[in-house]
Chains A and B, each alone.
Chain A
Amino acid sequence: MRPGLLLAWPLFFLYALWVAALQAWLAAPARLGAWTPDLGLALLFAWAAHLRGGRGVVAALLVALGRAASSAEPPALLAANALAALGLFAGLARGVAIERALPRAALCGLCALGTAFVLVAARSRVLAADGPSVALEGVPLWPGALASAAACLLLAPLLARLPGTAPLARERR
């Protein structure tokens, strides 16, 4: 493995951590609250078209780990969500020009909605098993999905050019 690539993966993970920490900061009710974008998904989708084979899976797992460092959600569920989003991207890329800005942003919004739905459902399940029924009532998921699509549209070009990560995509170019 080339030294550039050896450095690129830790840097990618560091960016995934920072992106998740920034998302956590934005998620405060006094800031964006329900309108907080899923920046991890935006990072993953910014890179999904440039990563080949197993590299996409590694990137998805690193994004999930970055999010797990800033969240109490189950890491296994976060990893499953990131891999599912990547799988959907890869599947659609065979027939649709999903790597173009608008379709990619739309898919990012859709995946953010799905991810949030699964996480809320999992939490509700835990709460239901934990005594008197308390569900996560009226959690609005669509604002986060819209914000994620917008973040992907605006930030993906920037996220795909983060310093030190170029070797991850070099072989394809």
Chain B
Amino acid sequence: MLLLQGLRPVPALEELLDTTLVPLRHAAELARPLAHLRGRTASAAERELALAAEAESALGQRVLARLAERALPQDPALRAGRVFLPAEITGRPSKDECWVAYPGPAEVAPGTPVVCGDVFVGRVVELRPGARPAARVQLITHAHARVGAEVAAGAVAGAESEGPVFLTVGGLRVPRSRAEPRAVRLAAHQPSSVRLAGGLARVHELFADADEAAALADGFRLGTVRRAGERNDFWVEPELDYLDGLFHLALVLAPQDAPALAPVPAPLEDGRWLTTRALVPRDASPWRSTLALPLGHADGLREGAAVTSVGARLVGRLLAVGPARADVALLDDPGLHLGAVALVEGSEEPVVLGRLTALGRAGPGAVRMRWWVRVSIALAGQGEPVRARLFTSPGDPGLPGGLYLGSTLLPRAATAGEEREIVLTTGFEARELGRLFVRRALEGAP
């Protein structure tokens, strides 16, 4: 029975076990004398991190600011006659939906289009008013999401003089064979001409006058329409990674709805961090890389929350939170995953990488990470990989964006669907740190 509970935990039993084992948190203090074995290395590692803390934090904030800027449309034609309300993703109830927080008060209604830059993302389907209002967004990848689209004139093979082709886009296209790449593709439905050769699809509702929100979405990009062979289905190659590459979005409003925006405090200065220390500095299993904190649910901790050290350095994420103890998966704990953005050497423009998953340690202060490329990237130049600094991306509950992860070598080109392995150089051993900071959950967060 114990074996079964260990392999396939029953939540109620797990909770009972957690409560029963609360005294174990105090028992672990009895092993404290062994923590002194790492005393000197701890303070040396912290001093080293403190030297770079300010610069890393400033760089992280710059990356965040740039990502937020990029969420606003750049195309003057799309900016005309609309106002954009910046929104930050605060949670993902499912792969095809997200919660966004926006500065209130604003007249956001269900159906409001949501965009990221010049790209259409989805529509608001639910609103949650409050001091920091939130909206649930149904992404275009959702099985029930549909939006009218238009591929500009000249898209029909052999009939370049023909007008635009109309189609409906929404949901994901299921791969037809194992040989197909594991890339995410939007499904394209009922094109007005089957001779469609491909081209850029933009939102265009044929009956836009029926709904004001539909008109506001008009013209935003959906991606490139493609087809493999004449008998196969069409699909739309998206320009965004809808699962792990969305952080900042913009809600599209009519000009009369423009609100006065209140400033949002930076994540490191919003008072949601608790100072703590490692209760247990290492895991007894050599294949794991975890530590335990003497804090739990009662302190406002939730699974997935960020654990940092001096400055804006991410050390790990909460793996499990009990009533009085929390286990932290360090960056090199196999299975730890996070969203990342890269700042390539010589460039000020962040590159969205999407989700990275730790595979294990690659040496002192280095971690092997798996990177599943969802949207192709092509960096300037050719040949040798390029050095980049990595930061956490926003949009993950409990894990704020802009926290410094380390540096890595990135390939100059990567195609959607590929799986790559990169080595992240963190430059420090997390288990040598004495002082840690853990992020509390936001009260009443969806």
Residues on A close to B: CB < 8 A? Answer: 13-14, 17-18, 20-25, 27-30, 32-34, 36, 40, 65, 67-80, 83-84, 116, 118-123, 125-127, 130-132, 134, 136-137, 139, 144
Q: How far is the CA of A75 from the CA of B13 in the complex (A)?
A: 12
Smallest CB gap from A71: residue in B: B284
Q: With contacts A71-B285, A73-B285 known, is A134 near B359, CB below 8 A?
A: yes
Q: Contacts of A84 on B, CB cut-off 8 Å? A: 3
Q: Given contacts A76-B2, A134-B337, list 5 more A-B pairs with CB under 8 A.
A: A20-B31, A27-B285, A65-B21, A70-B282, A139-B287
Interface of B is mostly: mixed
- Picked from B37, B290, B329, the residue with its CB within 8 Å of the CB of A25 is B37
B284 engages A27 (CB within 8 Å)? yes
B24 close to A76 (CB less than 8 A): no
Q: Does B440 contact A (CB under 8 A)?
A: no
Please give, as numbers and ranges, the residues of chain B lying within 8 Å of A74 by CB-CB distance. 5-6, 9
Docked-complex contact B335 and A70, CB < 8 angstroms: no
Query: Does B319 belong to the interface (CB within 8 Å)?
Result: yes
Assess whether B7 is in contact with A77, with CB atoms less than 8 Å apart: yes
Picked from B5, B28, B37, B361, the residue with its CB within 8 Å of the CB of A17 is: B28
CB distance from A94 to the nearest CB of B (A): 23
Minimum CB–CB distance from A116 to chain B (whole Å) comes to 8
Known contacts A17-B30, A123-B335, A127-B334; A76/B280 CB under 8 A: no
Count contacts between A and B, CB distance < 8 Å: 148
On chain B, the residues within 8 Å of A116 by CB distance are: 285, 287
Total interface residues in chain B, CB < 8 Å = 45
**Is A77 a contact of B288 with CB atoms below 8 Å?**
no
Which partner residue on chain A sits nearest B20 by CB separation? A75
Interface string of B276-289 (1 = CB under 8 A from A): 00001111111110
Q: Quick check: B34 and A25 within 8 Å, CB to CB?
A: yes
The chain B residue sitting closest to A125, CB to CB, is B7
> Which residues of A lie under 8 Å from residue B13 when comparing CB positions?
76
Q: Does A134 contact B335, Cβ atoms closer than 8 Å?
A: yes
Is A72 a contact of B292 with CB atoms below 8 Å?
Answer: yes
A13 to chain B, nearest CB (A): 7
Give B176 Cβ to nearest chain A Cβ, in Å: 21
Complex: how many Å from CA A25 to CA B287?
Answer: 13
Contacts of A17 in B (CB 8 A): 27-28, 30-31
Give every chain A residue within 8 A of B389 (Cβ-Cβ): none
Write 12 A-B pairs (CB below 8 A) sorted by A numbering: A18-B34, A20-B31, A25-B281, A27-B283, A36-B284, A69-B24, A71-B288, A71-B290, A72-B329, A118-B6, A122-B7, A134-B370
Q: In the assembled complex, which residues on chain B have CB atoms less than 8 Å from the CB atom of A136? A: 287, 334, 360
Interface membership of B413, Cβ < 8 A: no
Q: Distance (Å) between the CB of B17 and the closest chain A CB?
A: 6
Q: Is B234 an interface residue (CB 8 A)?
A: no
Which of B3, B9, B280, B281 is A80 in contact with, Cβ under 8 Å? B3
B283-A70 in contact (CB<8A): yes
Q: CB-nearest residue of chain A relative to B31? A: A21
B285 touches A65 (CB 8 A): no
Q: How far is the CA of A122 from the CA of B431 in the complex (A)?
A: 24
Q: How far is the CA of A20 from the CA of B28 in the complex (A)?
A: 10
Are B17 and A76 in contact, CB atoms less than 8 angstroms apart? yes
Inter-chain contacts of A71 with B (CB < 8 A): 280, 283-285, 288, 290
Residue-by-residue, is B43-68 near A (CB-CB < 8 Å gives 1, otherwise 0)?
00000000000000000000000000
CA distance A144 to B286 in the complex (A): 9
Instruction: Using CB atoms, name the residue of chain B closest to A130.
Output: B335
Task: Closest A residue to B335 by CB, please name it.
Answer: A127
Q: Is B372 at the interface (CB under 8 A from chain A)?
A: yes
Partner of B280, one of A30, A34, A69: A69
Contacts of B429 in A (CB 8 A): 30
Given contacts A72-B319, A123-B335, A136-B334, are A36 and B286 in contact (CB under 8 A)? yes
B426 lies within 8 A of chain A by Cβ: no
